[in-house]
Amino acid sequence: MTLIKPVDHKSAEVAFDADSVSIKRDWGNPGNMRNLQVGSTHSSCNQNNAHLRVFQVNWHVPSKEEIAAVQKLVDEFLGNALDDLRTFCAEGAEGKKLNKEELSTRLTHITTLLRGAGFVLPFWNMEDNRIQIVNSVTPIEKPLRFRVKPEVSDYEMEVNFRGGNARLAILEVMVQLQDCLLKEREDDTESLARIIFVYELVIGYNGIHRYEFEHNNDIMASGAEILKDQLLGNSQMSRKLMMLRIALAHDARVIDNSILTCFTETNATIFKKLFTLATSSYSSVR
C-alpha cells in the first residue's frame, strides 16, 4: 500500500481477457527499453529496433486515501506500542506489568510498522547535530539523491507520528528500553535482539532490504540465462524479464536513498547502544 512498484509482470502486453490471437501474437516478444510508455507502436525508435513492441508499464503509486490510512494505522498502533514501552521503562522494578511475551509483542508491532511503512517514513534532518568525522576534499554536504516519488500537489507522500519524525520517536523509546532491560532483565535476549532489528530498520530501511534486492537480481539473472538464445546470440529480453529489470532499477534507487552519508548525533547514539550490546555477557545478544 505504501510502495511504488510495477503492478504486473505478465509475459504478454495485452490483457489476460483479450482474444487468443492477440495473446499468441504478443507472447514472448522482446520489450523495448527505449520506450516504456503506454502504446502499441514505436514511432521514435530507429530501424534496428522497429520490430520491438512498446509495452505498458503500470505502476502502483500510493494515493491520498492510502497515505491517510497508513497515517491512521501509525498513529494508533505505533502510539499504543510506544506508550506501553514508555510506561514499562518508567515503572519501578516491582511494578513491571509487561512480561516477556507482551514486551516481544509490542516490539513486533513496531518492527512490522517500520517494514510496512518504511517507504513513507522520512529520515531525520541530516543537518541537525551533524558530526564532522574527517576532513574531506570531496563535498558531501549535499549527497546525491534519486527521485523515487512522483510530485503530487494535493498531498504529501510522507507519514509522521504526532506531528514529529516517527523514526526519532521510535529511537528515543528504544534507547530507554535497552537501558531498562540491561539493568533489570538482561536475560531477556529475545527482546534485546528485536531492539537491534529496530535499530537496523530505523537507520537504514527505506522500503526494501538489500538482501531482497540481491535475491530478485539473482532471479532475473537466472531467468535471462535460461531464456537466452546461444545459437543466434540474441540478448533481447522478454516482457516479464524487462519488467523485473525495471523494478530492480527502481529498488536500487530506493536503497541508495536510504544510505546516510552524513553522520549525526542520532547515528552516534545508535552505534553506542549497539556497542553496549556487543559487550553483553549473553552470547545470543553479542
Give tens-digit pLDDT for 261-280.
Answer: 677 888 888 889 999 888 87
Model confidence pLDDT, tens digit, residues 110-127: 999 999 888 888 888 765
Task: Give the structural domain span for 52.
Answer: 5-60+209-254
Question: Is residue 179 located within the same domain as residue 215?
Answer: no
Question: Is residue 83 located within the same domain as residue 142?
Answer: yes
Please indicate, yes or no, if residue 185 is contained in any of the structural domains. Answer: yes
pLDDT at 94: 54
Which residues are paired to 59 by β-bridges?
A: 6
State the amino acid at position 117 in one-letter form: A
Global confidence as pTM: 0.76
Question: Is residue 149 located within the same domain as residue 233?
Answer: no
Question: Is residue 114 located within the same domain as residue 27?
Answer: no
In contact, 10 and 126? CB cutoff 8 Å: no
Question: Is residue 154 located within the same domain as residue 42?
Answer: no
pLDDT at 208: 83
Model confidence pLDDT, tens digit, residues 39-86: 333 333 333 443 444 556 777 888 889 889 999 999 999 999 999 999
Question: Is residue 196 located within the same domain as residue 245?
Answer: no
Run of H or E including 59: strand 59-60
Please indicate, yes or no, if residue 286 is contained in any of the structural domains. Answer: no
Residue with cell 497515505: 67
Inform me whether the pLDDT recorded for 154 exceeds 80.
no
pLDDT at 23: 55
Inform me whether the pLDDT recorded for 246 exceeds 50.
yes
pLDDT at 24: 57
Least confident range from 33-37, 54-58, 124-128, 211-215: namely: 33-37
Longest dimension (CA), the chain: 80
pLDDT at 45: 37
Question: Is residue 39 located within the same domain as residue 142?
Answer: no
Question: Is residue 273 located within the same domain as residue 139?
Answer: yes
- Give the side-chain half-sphere CA count within 13 A for 112: 12
